[in-house]
Amino acid sequence: MALTQTPMQAEAARTIFEKSKPGRRAAVLPDAGVPESPLEELIPAKLLREEPPRLPEVSEPEIVRHYNRLSRRNFDLDSGFYPLGSCTMKHNPRLNERVAALPGHARLHPAQDPRRAQGALELMWLLQESLAEICGLPHVSLQPSAGSHGELAGLLLTRAFHADRGEARTKVLAPDTSHGTNPASVTMAGYESVKVATNERGGVEMDDLRAKLSDEVACLMLTNPNTLGLFDENIAEMAALIHGAGGTLYYDGANLNAVMGQTRPGDMGFDIVHVNLHKSFSQPHGGGGPGAGPIAVSERMEPFLPCPQVVRRAGENGGGPFFDLDADRPKSIGRLRGFQGNFGVFVRSYAYILSLGGDGLAEASETAVLNANYLKARLAEDRAGKHLPVAFDRHCMHEFVLSGKPMKRELGIATLDLAKRLLDFGFHPPTVYFPLLVDEALMVEPTETETKESLDAFADAIERILAEAEGDPDLAKSAPYTTPVRRLDEVRATRQPVVRQAFA
């Protein structure tokens, strides 16, 4: 029998609401154990809800099946290679989940008195110290909730820093290769975003940078290696320039996985770094979070760090040290969120740092760079080398960017088609169409936790897809075939958005 659709495709998507039936339920609640007075006696009727929200009415077995089956409609890192550039899809150790779930962590109330949360505060302090050492910058705030939150924090620090000197600067520079969150954060922090050009080696065009520097410039935001996966050798000069112009130098730490234990943002001259714990430090991505974006800063930025700050104080009466939340920071930019940050993420990342140790982290970066260069070399062979040239041809760091422009011209398939066809081969595609600078970009980040075999299999798949396309480009253009759904109409989802279940 010839199949026309896979078993999953045969199963139409049904939401949990569509499985609801009046009177079904999963939860059984405890008895209140107190007088069952009518609600109206407790709360004025006008403040009460009339109709309960139309949550689904389903039994527990149905819930489990529903989400279990849904889960199988996801591709995940624990099932296959996920070389999504700029995302550092490295192995997520289950040990970290285990320690994060210990009741002493998981059921600790964030408003607990610091004297009764010494373990948690010490852990945060230890993580701060570790990140400070890794970044080469003395002070750390763990508060930001993700990379972009860290960026915003860094820009607000910059603003406070300048305000403290009586300056009001208005512009923030970032290369045209920068990640979308950079300019978005710039606007959100009340600055104007200015692009700096990229030179032929993939680094910052120094003349353009010089031209754009002025006393209006508050900050230069970079990532190094940059989003092309290339280390900008001019970093020391850039640092001198921006500092000379009175600005701060911000490091987007999304690419830290290339340099741990090899070189440090602080030593390069950066003032502020954010670290994506959900990238280099193995917090699982969760299908879009949670993460955490701690920032490490230089001495001169320290007074402005968010409140509260975790500090170690000398113990009383010769006892051990005492860990505390310090909110008495007059120059602080203040709070960026509730309580102390994404503590559960800190536990996981600290467990990761303990597991690897200093040497292990250095080796992780080294291997990440080795894997990327190997895969780049494999993709320089044969058809990939011809149709998918690397955008800047030199050793890369932990990732590299290919251009699908020749492929599109020569074979008639776009980067998107290649990506979709890769799905049929069981791979998550690389990041596509980013950085914007590179036409038909494919950004490939294998990470250090992949085997040589999986890199080879990926290179082989690309080769096969290109060979296929030489014969029949439509094969890629209509891909994917084997996924639970095939190409989806994204335009419609934006033009006529349906963003919630409609009820009859």
Ligand X SMILES: Cc1ncc(COP(=O)(O)O)c(C=O)c1O
Q: List interacting residues with a second copy (CB under 8 A).
A: 1-7, 11, 19, 21, 24, 28, 59-62, 64-65, 68-69, 72, 78-80, 91, 93-94, 355, 424, 426, 449-451, 453, 475, 478, 481-482
Min dist CB 287 to another protein, Å, is 4
Give, as ranges, the residues between 189 and 248 that touch another protein (CB under 8 A): 189-190, 193, 230-231, 233, 235-236
Min dist CB 361 to a second copy, Å, is 14
Considering only CA atoms, which of 149, 174, 397 is closest in space to residue 277? 149
Residue 227 interacts with, from another protein, a second copy, ligand X, none (CB under 5-8 Å by kind):
ligand X
Binding mask 178-217 for ligand X (x = CB under 6 A): -x-x------------------------------------
Residue 481 interacts with, from ligand X, another protein, a second copy, none (CB under 5-8 Å by kind):
a second copy
Determine contact, residues 272/295, Cβ cutoff 8 Å: yes
Min dist CB 274 to another protein, Å, is 12
* 3-class secondary-structure state, position 172: strand
Query: Could you say whether residue 252 binds ligand X (CB under 6 A)?
Result: yes
* CA–CA dist 266, 134 (Å, integer): 9
* CA–CA dist 463, 383 (Å, integer): 6
Q: Which stretch binds ligand X (CB under 6 A): 14-22, 140-148, 209-217, 465-473?
A: 140-148
Q: Which two tokens stand for residue 111?
A: 């408003």
Q: What are phi and psi of 354, to 5 degrees?
A: -60, -40
Give, as ranges, the residues between 435 and 494 that touch another protein (CB under 8 A): 448-452, 478, 480, 483-490, 492-494
Which amino acid, one-letter code, is at 168?
A
* CA–CA dist 376, 385 (Å, integer): 9
* CA–CA dist 123, 138 (Å, integer): 17
Residue nearer to another protein on the CB measure, 362 or 410: 362
* 3-class secondary-structure state, position 401: strand
CA 325 to chain centre: 27
Query: Could you say whether residue 123 binds another protein (CB under 8 A)?
Result: yes
Q: Which residues pair with 323 in a beta bridge?
A: 312
- For the chain, the residue count is 504
Give all strands (DSSP E) within 276-354, no chain letters: 295-297, 309-313, 322-326
Determine contact, residues 284/292, Cβ cutoff 8 Å: no
Residue 47 burial class via C-beta count within 10 angstroms: exposed 0-12, middle 13-18, buried 19 and up? exposed
Determine contact, residues 183/150, Cβ cutoff 8 Å: no
Binding mask 64-103 for another protein (x = CB under 8 A): x-xxx-xxxxxxxxxx--x-x--x-xxxxxxxxxxxxxxx
Residue 288 interacts with, from a second copy, ligand X, another protein, none (CB under 5-8 Å by kind):
another protein
Give, as ranges, the residues between 251 and 290 that touch another protein (CB under 8 A): 259-264, 267-268, 276, 278, 282, 284-290
Which amino acid, one-letter code, is at 166?
G
Considering only CA atoms, which of 175, 218, 166 is closest in space to residue 197? 175
Residue 437 interacts with, from a second copy, ligand X, another protein, none (CB under 5-8 Å by kind):
none
Query: Could you say whether residue 146 binds ligand X (CB under 6 A)?
Result: yes
Min dist CB 51 to another protein, Å, is 9
Name the pairing type of β-strands 295-297 and 217-222.
unpaired
Min dist CB 361 to another protein, Å, is 6
Q: Which stretch binds ligand X (CB under 6 A): 101-109, 143-151, 400-408, 441-449?
A: 143-151
Give, as ranges, the residues between 82 and 101 that touch ligand X (CB under 6 A): 86-87
Q: Which two tokens stand for residue 395?
A: 């050793």
Residue nearer to a second copy on the CB measure, 82 or 251: 82
Q: Which residue is nearest to ligand X (CB)?
A: 147
Q: Which stretch binds another protein (CB under 8 A): 211-219, 242-250, 368-376, 461-469?
A: 368-376
